[in-house]
A and B are shown apart, each in its own frame.
Chain A
Amino acid sequence: MEKFYQNIERYLLRELTGNELAAFENALQSDATLAKSVAQHRQMLQRLDALRLRSKVKAAIPPHAAKQVAMYANRKFWAMAASLIVLAAAIWFFNQPAQTNSGLVGNQPQKPQTDTLTSPPNETPLSTPDVPQANKPREKPLEQARLIALARIFQELPSQTFVRGASQTAGDISQKTRAQLAAEAYDSNNFRLAAELLKDDKQVLQDEDARYIRANARFHIGQFAEAANDFDALKDSFQFKYEARWNFLLCQIALGKTEQAKALLHAMIADQDFPFRAKAMELKGELNF
């Protein structure tokens, strides 16, 4: 009988075969003490197996993995991460125009900015569908930014007297024309509104004052190609021909059309009677033409 007790492990490990197995199973049927001992051995082997398995699991799992995963799953963590991303994006966004425009813009005397629809006039506006490539600050090379900044510095602005005169009317505000409202918006530095009010060419077809306002408003908001068209239309104007020629030149510079700008600039310098000849010579020095 003692032999059976020594064979419990072999029985549980299924190492008993043939007569040995049959004899053991017979004894198991008749000996309750043996059966109880077998049950205890079986449980002990299960416990040993559990200990082995747990060690294996412990060895497989990297330490502190749960804490790491939980940290990234935590709402507070993601909220904080999102906040930091937004903050970083905001810093980047607001620094972007300052990087593209050179320090030259700082030289221009500025009115208080009240344009609610545009970026400030000394900044390159954000891209709009009708804006030429000069208005894409992220793709714009540094040289292009410098040219735009120069164009803004040298822009010949409409006189305040002219703008205010164009905006005035004898009646109440409801009777003002779009041209007068645009002049008023321009006077308030709301250049985008001014350009928007006069976006229809019919508004400026017979009204040189309105076209001049629109041209300058477009120049301010970086729509240099459209501004150039307006200035070009005014180059034969009795009242605005010099300013229009000059600002047209600046539009060419802002658009990066240096060859055309060069030719226009030389023509202006060559013209002894051109009222902005001094400015032209100064600009030539800045451009290294």
Chain B
Amino acid sequence: MARILDLFLDRKTNRSCDKYPNDGSLFEGLRHEEADAIRCLSARISGSIFNIGKSHHLPDDDIEELICDCITICIQKIRGGTYTFKGYNPATFVIEIAKNRARNFRRNSMKHETFGFESIGEQADEADFGSLAETELLEKLLSKLETNCQNLIRLKYLEERRDKEVIEEKLTQYTTVDALKNHRSKCLKKLVEIGAADSRFNQ
């Protein structure tokens, strides 16, 4: 059936799974944030999460965001070591996250609650910063910084540019790595202070 669906659906998405013949290899791909692993996981969970979202009366756009949230949270947990591979499909874990989050979406609350699931459900229910609401909030805080600071932080933490590369490509006004680091350190401190002052950020 999956092969037949390949004919109808985006072949690129489904071909992504060819690189991950088993659950373990997919787990490793996710750990390394490989785009193909993300696409493969998305292809495996999208239908289920769409149905979960619909059963909670979520609009299509929210369901798309829910899928992004769940995959992001899953990868964060893999990288943070709170979700370790135990032989089952990562899709199962992501779907558990989705079930929990769908309930919270409906209640217009981004706080997580525990619903008495087994270990997989509990693991999936921990706090995260990868949700749409959290990331949107962070974007708002970033926009309060001056442009130079925003640029420094984006280059380092969102675009993963190396300091040396930033200097060589003259992406900022700084000509040495030390000067760049010093100024960015101050920018980060400002951002932390703005966040500390925002009540929504500390919930």
Contact = CB atoms under 8 A, between A and B. Distances in A.
Interface of A: 5-10, 37, 40-41, 43-70, 72-73
Contact of A47 (B47, B51, B138, B160): B138
Contacts of A44: 188, 191-192, 195
Given A50-B128, A53-B75, A65 B46 contact: yes
Contacts, number: 139
Contacts of A7: 185
Contacts of A72: 5, 8-9, 47
Given A51-B158, A60-B42, A66-B46, A10 B181 contact: yes
A72 B50 CA distance: 11
A56 B130 CA distance: 11
Given A50-B130, A56-B38, A65-B42, A5 B189 contact: yes
Interface in B87-142: 128-130, 132, 134-135, 138-139
Nearest to A53: B72
B38 A48 contact: no
Nearest to A49: B157
Given A37-B189, A47-B195, A48-B158, 5 more contacts: A46-B129, A51-B157, A61-B38, A62-B39, A66-B60
A51 B35 CA distance: 16
A171 B168 CA distance: 114
B184 interface: yes
Residue from the set A37, A58, A61 with the largest chain B CB neighbour count within 10 Å: A61
A54 B139 CA distance: 12
A65 B185 contact: no
Given A5-B189, A6-B186, A70 B46 contact: yes
A265 B158 CA distance: 92
Contacts of A68: 8-10, 46
Contacts of A48: 138, 153, 157-158
A68 B12 CA distance: 14
B64 interface: yes
Interface of B: 5, 8-10, 12-13, 33, 35, 38-39, 42-43, 46-47, 49-51, 54, 60, 63-64, 67-69, 71-72, 75-76, 128-130, 132, 134-135, 138-139, 153, 157-160, 181-182, 184-186, 188-189, 191-192, 195-196
Given A47-B138, A50-B135, A53-B130, A66 B195 contact: no
What 8 A-B pairs have minimum CB-CB distances, sorted nearest first?
A70-B50, A50-B129, A66-B46, A69-B47, A48-B157, A60-B38, A73-B47, A50-B130
Nearest to A42: B192
Given A9-B184, A37-B192, A69-B46, A57 B10 contact: no
Contacts of B138: 47-48, 50-51
B185 A10 contact: yes
Contact of A52 (B42, B51, B158, B186): B158
Contacts of B185: 6-10
Given A44-B195, A73-B51, A61 B129 contact: no
Contacts of B181: 9-10
A47 B129 contact: yes
11 contacts: A6-B186, A8-B188, A9-B181, A41-B192, A44-B192, A45-B157, A48-B153, A53-B130, A56-B38, A66-B46, A66-B60
A10 to B, nearest CB: 7
Contacts of A46: 129
Contacts of A52: 157-160
Contacts of A57: 38, 68, 71-72, 75
A69 B189 contact: no
A41 B10 contact: no
Contacts of A43: 129
